[in-house]
C-alpha cells in the first residue's frame, strides 16, 4: 500500500534515507508530506514512531492505495 504521512513543519531532503526512501514533498503551507509504499502495518507504525521521535506534529495519515501517488482514492485519518 502507498501512504501519505503529513507532518507540520519542513524536513530537509536528507531525511529520505531515515524514512525508508519515502518521497519528501515540502508544501507551501509549511507541511511536509512523506509518500511511498509501506509493506505492512508494522512498517507504518515504525515510520510513525520516527515522526514522533522528531517531535514534529503529525497532521494526517492517508492510505492512497497500491501503486498510486495521489489521494483521489483514499482513506483519511485526520488527527486532532
CATH of the domain at 16: 3.30.70
Instruction: To the nearest 10°, report the CA torsion of 30, 77, 74, 39.
Output: 90
Range of the structural domain that residue 69 is part of = 2-78
Q: In 9-35, which positions are buried (b, 16+ CB within 10 angstroms) versus exposed (e)?
A: eebeeeeeeebeebebeeeeeebbbbb
- Looking at the structure of the chain, the number of domains it has is 1
Specify the pLDDT at position 14: 82
What integer pLDDT is reported at residue 67 of this predicted model? Answer: 56
Q: What is the pLDDT of residue 51?
A: 94
What pTM was estimated for this model as a whole?
0.78
pLDDT at residue 65, as a whole number: 73
Q: What is the pLDDT along the chain (80 residues), one digit of tens a residue?
A: 999 999 999 998 788 888 888 999 999 999 999 999 999 999 999 999 999 999 999 999 999 977 555 544 444 445 54
Amino acid at each position: 500500500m502507498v501512504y501519505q504521512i503529513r507532518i507540520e513543519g519542513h524536513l530537509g531532503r536528507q531525511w529520505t534515507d531515515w524514512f525508508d526512501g519515502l518521497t519528501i514533498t515540502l508544501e507551501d503551507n509549511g507541511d511536509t508530506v512523506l509518500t511511498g509504499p509501506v509493506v505492512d502495518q508494522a512498517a507504518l507504525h515504525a515510520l510513525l514512531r520516527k515522526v514522533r521521535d522528531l517531535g514534529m506534529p503529525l497532521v494526517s495519515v492517508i492510505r492512497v492505495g497500491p501503486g498510486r501517488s495521489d489521494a483521489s482514492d483514499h482513506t483519511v485519518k485526520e488527527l486532532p
